[in-house]
């Protein structure tokens, strides 16, 4: 049977086996998907061993997305621009690296009927997660994208790198230009430690949608703050997780799974 896996460290919390097993059942694809705890110094060997046996594809999570980027024999455009890889495909001895996170974000927004077209978007964070989201956001033709980060220079540098793809600017959390942001996306990792980016409440109005890429039991710190500040809606990253998985599944199997049932099952599984 074709084997698939997610490589990470830690990995026990990963929802990917649950999601992909549901996708396989739903689409009638015969495959096995497992989580592989990968030694911090043994990523390359573990992946090569997997593909040397019956491994056909893999997801890559923390802290190996950068190493997966370096390991791949060839890269998709999305992976190249994101500078990281979350999906590997193995075909006749060659490893191809792709990145489905950004597509996952945009599909989740579409699922929630949120259009980015001609809107002002604010993206918080300038690490790997933020970088992967920039091109997919710009492809939706927003009016503008402002990237704000705790370390201002990193956001400015990202804005420079993507300047050819749209109206994008960058700066620190204290100097966010006043604008009517329709969507504020938290792509910083602050939520992992129960924190949130310190931005002024005045950026939120009763039309604002706030989106936290992090998810968990209950509301994230950022979404709790957004709600208290009067945002119209708060969404967490669970839908993005399912949508990026669906795109990986499609790349491996050529069949696009339906995500609604998996979203519901996963939400129940979390609580
Ligand atoms: P990831 O792959 O999840 O994006 P990363 O590349 O380590 O992780 O990037 C983490 C991002 O979260 C960075 O933008 C970081 O800001 P700095 O560049 O200033 O370090 C941001 N971040 C982490 N903790 C934060 C906090 N408590 N408040 C605001 N931003 C935070």
Give the Cα separation of 98 and 77 in Å (integer).
8
Q: Which atom of ligand 1 is nearest to the CA of 151?
A: 19
Write out the H or E segment, with its range, that includes residue 5. strand 2-8
Q: What is the pLDDT of residues 126-173, one digit of tens each?
A: 999 999 999 999 999 999 999 999 999 999 999 999 999 999 999 999
Arithmetic mean of pLDDT over the chain? 96
The pLDDT tens digits of the residues spanning 177-211 come to: 999 999 999 999 998 888 999 999 999 999 999 99
- Structure confidence at residue 240 (pLDDT): 98
Question: Strands 94-98 and 87-91: what pairing?
Answer: antiparallel
Residue nearest to atom 28 of ligand 1 (CA): 197
235-259 average pLDDT score: 98
Residue 131 CA: nearest ligand 1 atom is: 4
Mutate to test the pocket of ligand 1, among 8, 62, 150 (most ligand atoms within 8 A of CB): 150
Ligand 1 centroid to residue 29 C-alpha, Å: 38
Instruction: Please tell me if the domain spanning 2-99+239-270 has the same topology as the one spanning 102-236.
Output: yes
263 vs 130: CA distance, rounded Å: 23
Topology (CATH) of 102-236: Rossmann fold (3.40.50)
Structure tokens at 229: 């500040």
Domain boundaries, the chain: 2-99+239-270, 102-236
For 75-110, how does the pLDDT look when each residue is reduced to its tens digit (9 = 90+)?
999 999 999 999 999 999 999 999 999 999 999 999
Position 112 pLDDT exceeds 90: yes
Q: Does this complex have an ipTM over 0.85?
A: yes
Ligand 1 mean position, distance from CA 197 (Å): 9
Q: Cβ(212)–Cβ(241) under 8 Å?
A: no
- Which residues are 96's β-sheet partners? 74, 89
Ligand 1 neighbour 153 (Cβ under 6 A)? no
Query: Percent of the chain scored above 70 by pLDDT?
Result: 100
Question: At the top level of CATH, which class does the domain 2-99+239-270 belong to?
Answer: alpha beta
Q: Edge to edge, what strands does the sheet with 168-172 contain?
A: 168-172, 144-149, 120-124, 181-186, 209-212, 233-235
In 224-257, which positions are buried (b, 16+ CB within 10 angstroms) versus exposed (e)?
ebbeebebeebbbbbbbbbbbbbbbbbbbbeeeb
pLDDT of residue 239: 97
Work out the number of other CB atoms within 10 angstroms of the CB of residue 10. 12
Q: Return the percentage of the chain with pLDDT > 90, whole number.
A: 96
Which residues are identified as catalytic? 65
20 C-beta closer than 6 A to ligand 1: no
């Amino acid at each position: 049977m074709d084997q698939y896996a997610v490589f990470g460290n830690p990995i026990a919390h990963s929802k990917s086996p649950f999601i992909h097993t549901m996708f396989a059942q739903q689409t009638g694809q015969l495959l096995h998907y497992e989580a592989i705890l990968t030694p911090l110094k043994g990523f390359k060997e573990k992946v090569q061993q997997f593909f040397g046996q019956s491994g056909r594809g893999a997801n890559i999570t923390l802290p190996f997305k950068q190493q997966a980027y370096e390991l791949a024999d060839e890269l998709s455009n999305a992976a190249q621009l994101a500078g990281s890889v979350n999906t590997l495909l193995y075909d006749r001895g060659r490893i191809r690296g792709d990145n489905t996170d950004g597509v996952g974000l945009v599909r989740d927004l579409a699922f929630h009927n949120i259009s980015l077209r001609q809107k002002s978007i604010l993206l918080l964070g300038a690490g790997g997660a933020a970088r992967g989201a920039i091109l997919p956001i710009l492809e939706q033709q927003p009016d503008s994208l402002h990237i704000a980060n705790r370390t201002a220079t990193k956001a400015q540098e990202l804005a420079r790198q993507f300047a050819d793809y749209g109206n994008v600017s960058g700066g620190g959390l204290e100097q966010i230009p006043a604008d009517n942001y329709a969507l504020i996306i938290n792509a910083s990792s602050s939520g992992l430690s129960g924190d949130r980016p310190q931005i002024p409440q005045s950026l939120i109005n009763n039309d604002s949608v706030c989106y936290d890429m992090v998810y968990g039991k209950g509301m994230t710190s950022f979404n709790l703050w957004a709600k208290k500040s009067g945002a119209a809606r708060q969404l967490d990253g669970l839908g993005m997780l399912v949508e990026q998985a669906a795109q990986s599944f499609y790349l491996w199997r050529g069949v696009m799974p339906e995500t609604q049932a998996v979203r519901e099952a996963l939400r129940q599984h979390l609580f």
